[in-house]
Amino acid sequence: MARKQRFREDDDAAIDMTPMLDIVFIMLIFFIVTTSFVKEAGIEVVKPKAAASKPNSKGNIFIAIKANGEVWMDKRLVDIERVAANIERMLAEQPTESIIVQADKESKHGVVVKVMDAIKSAGELKIIIAAEKK
C-alpha cells in the first residue's frame, strides 16, 4: 500500500509576518515617546565670543534675544512679560533642568537680565548663556 504524500511540491510554506510587524510598530511608538524634543528659539543670533566657552547640549529650551530687544521662544516672538508663562508651559510639556539663552552680542544688558529674572521666576532652573569659542 502506498503512503500518501503529505506535502505537495507546489505548496509553499508561508511565514506569518504579523507578529514581527507588531513588534516593529511597538518599538516605533516607544522611540517616539522617549525621544526628547528640543524647543528651539527659531532665529539665528550673533553670539559673543568667549575664550572659556564649551559645548553644552543639556538644555531643551532655547530663548533668543535679538539686537533690537526682541525675545524669541519656540519659533515665536514673545513679549518680555510673557516669558515666564511660556517657560512654565514648555516645562509642563517637557521638563528640563536648564534653559539656554542665546543673546545677540549687540543686545542690551537690561533685556537679558529681564529674561533671566523671568526664567528664575518660572522655577529653579540652570541658565546657560550661549557663546562662540574664540
**pLDDT, tens digit, for every residue of 65-123?**
999 999 998 889 999 899 999 999 988 888 888 888 988 888 888 999 999 999 998 88
Give me the pLDDT at residue 26, please: 94
Range with the poorest average pLDDT among 22-26, 47-51, 80-84, 96-100: 47-51
Answer yes or no: are the C-beta atoms of 127 and 99 closer than 8 Å. yes
Which band of pLDDT confidence, cut at 50, 70 and 90, is reported for residue 11? low
Q: Where are the domains of the chain?
A: 49-133
What angle do the packed helices 83-93 and 109-122 form, to 10 degrees?
40
Answer yes or no: are the C-beta atoms of 36 and 97 closer than 8 Å. no
Considering the four listed CATH numbers 3.40.50.1970, 3.30.420.270, 3.20.20.30, 3.30.565.60, the one that applies to the domain covering 49-133 is 3.30.420.270
Which band of pLDDT confidence, cut at 50, 70 and 90, is reported for residue 1? low
Span 55-74, mean pLDDT?
83
Give me the pLDDT at residue 48, please: 72
The DSSP-derived string for the chain is -PPPPSS-TTPPP----HHHHHHHHHHHHHHHHHPPPPB--SS---PPEETT-------SEEEEE-TTS-EEETTEEE-GGGHHHHHHHHHHHS--SEEEEEE-TTS-HHHHHHHHHHHHHH-S-EEEE--EE-
pLDDT at residue 20 greater than cutoff 60: yes
Give me the pLDDT at residue 65, please: 92
pLDDT at residue 35 greater than cutoff 80: no
pLDDT at residue 60 greater than cutoff 70: yes
